Amino acid sequence: MASEERPLPKRARLLQSRLLRRIGFLLVMTWLLVFLTQDYVDQLTVYLGLKTSFVQATLNTLLVLSVLALQAVWSYFREGDLTAGASNMVRYFSDQLKDYLKALRHAEKAFDERQPLYGVLSGHLQRVNGHTEGAVTELMTHLDSMDQEVSNFVNLVGQRSEETESLAEDSKQKAAANQKALEDVSSLIRQQNRQMENNREKVLAVLERSKSLEDSIELIKNVSSQTNLLALNASIEAARAGEHGRGFAVVADEVRDLSKQSEKAAEKISGEILQMVETIQEQFREELDEGLQDEEQQMLDKIAGQLEHLGSGYLQLIDQHGQLVGEMFNVSERFKDLVIKALSAIQFQDVSRQQIEQVIHGLECLLKSDMAMLDLLENPAQLPKKELHIDLDEYEKGYVMQDQRQTHKAAVGKEAEEAKQNQKAPTPDIELF
Partner 1 sequence: MKTVLLVDDSPTILMSVKGVLQRNGLNVETAKTGEEALDKIKGGVKPDLMITDLNMPGINGIELIQKARQGGLKFTPMLVLTTESQESKRQEARAAGATGWLVKPVQGDQLMQVIKKVLPGA
Chain residues in the site for partner 1 (CB under 8 A): 133, 136-137, 140, 143-144, 147, 336, 339-341, 343-351, 353-354, 400-402, 427, 429-433
Cβ proximity to partner 1, 138 vs 287, nearer residue: 138
Rounded least distance, CB 137 to partner 1, Å: 6
Rounded least distance, CB 326 to partner 1, Å: 20
Evaluate whether 70 touches 28 at the Cβ level (below 8 Å): yes
CA distance 44 to 57: 13
Q: What amino acid occupies position 31?
A: W
**Cα–Cα distances in angstroms (integers) from residue 242 to residues 250, 252, 257, 334, 412, in the given order:** 12, 14, 21, 135, 181
Rounded least distance, CB 418 to partner 1, Å: 14
**Cα–Cα distances in angstroms (integers) from residue 240 to residues 232, 245, 246, in the given order:** 13, 7, 10
CA distance 411 to 408: 5
Strand, helix or coil for residue 330: helix
Rounded least distance, CB 337 to partner 1, Å: 8
Rounded least distance, CB 349 to partner 1, Å: 5
Cβ proximity to partner 1, 138 vs 237, nearer residue: 138
Which of 107, 118, 115 has the alpha carbon at shortest distance from 376? Answer: 107
Rounded least distance, CB 404 to partner 1, Å: 9
Give the single-character DSSP code of 389.
S
Cβ proximity to partner 1, 65 vs 346, nearer residue: 346
Q: What amino acid occupies position 220?
A: I
Cβ proximity to partner 1, 321 vs 336, nearer residue: 336
Cβ proximity to partner 1, 37 vs 354, nearer residue: 354
CA distance 65 to 13: 25
Cβ proximity to partner 1, 2 vs 345, nearer residue: 345
Rounded least distance, CB 141 to partner 1, Å: 8
**Cα–Cα distances in angstroms (integers) from residue 385 to residues 115, 374, 394, in the given order:** 17, 10, 16
Which of 16, 19, 17, 25 has the alpha carbon at shortest distance from 70? Answer: 25
Cβ proximity to partner 1, 282 vs 429, nearer residue: 429
Rounded least distance, CB 411 to partner 1, Å: 19
Cβ proximity to partner 1, 112 vs 337, nearer residue: 337
* DSSP string covering 194-221: HHHHHHHHHHHHHHHHHHHHHHHHHHHH
242: left (phi over 0), alpha (psi -120 to 50) or beta: left
Cβ proximity to partner 1, 52 vs 402, nearer residue: 402
Rounded least distance, CB 412 to partner 1, Å: 19
Name the phi and psi angles at 180, rounded to 5: -65, -45
CA distance 156 to 127: 43
